[in-house]
Amino acid sequence: MARVLVVEDETSVAQFIARALDTAGHNVELAEDGGIGYRLAMDEHFDLLISDIRLPVVDGIALALALSGDQPALPILLMTGFSDKFEHATDLDEFTAGLLLKPFSLNELLDAVDGALAR
């Protein structure tokens, strides 16, 4: 299936996503901050990037903007637990494949991933 890079600094959320996507047949790589995520995305091939918006070093919006310029074919799915960030991120519709508002269910995650990969 797909190779997915997940950039999330909350260990429990990152592990939930990794387990869910692994069970669905995807190969998952984890990064704990946007700087590491950017380097991985530039050095390796991924079919999808899933990133939290609020991250240390480089936030998810800056990561999405940088990668949309460097790798325009890479689908980017953003997620956040902060409603003010959610409103700001909706301005990124042209650069992203979707936005998940935390907490999200397993089905919401899998549907968003399927939709992003189908774009």
Q: Hey, what are 48's tokens?
A: 């999808």
Choose among 20, 23, 43, 101: nearest CA to 31.
Answer: 43
Strand runs (DSSP E) across the chain, as ranges? 3-7, 27-31, 48-52, 76-80, 98-101
- Domain containing 81 equals 3-118
User: Tell me, what's the pLDDT at 7?
Assistant: 98
Cross-strand pairs, 98: 77
User: Tell me, what's the pLDDT at 112?
Assistant: 97
pTM over 0.75: yes
The CATH number of whichever domain residue 67 belongs to comes to 3.40.50.2300
User: Tell me, what's the pLDDT at 8?
Assistant: 98
Torsion of CA 8, 105, 67, 48, to 10 degrees: 110
User: Tell me, what's the pLDDT at 117?
Assistant: 96
Structural domain count of the chain? 1
pLDDT in tens, 35-86: 999 999 999 999 999 999 999 999 998 999 999 999 999 999 999 887 655 5
Distance CA 12, CA 3 (A): 20
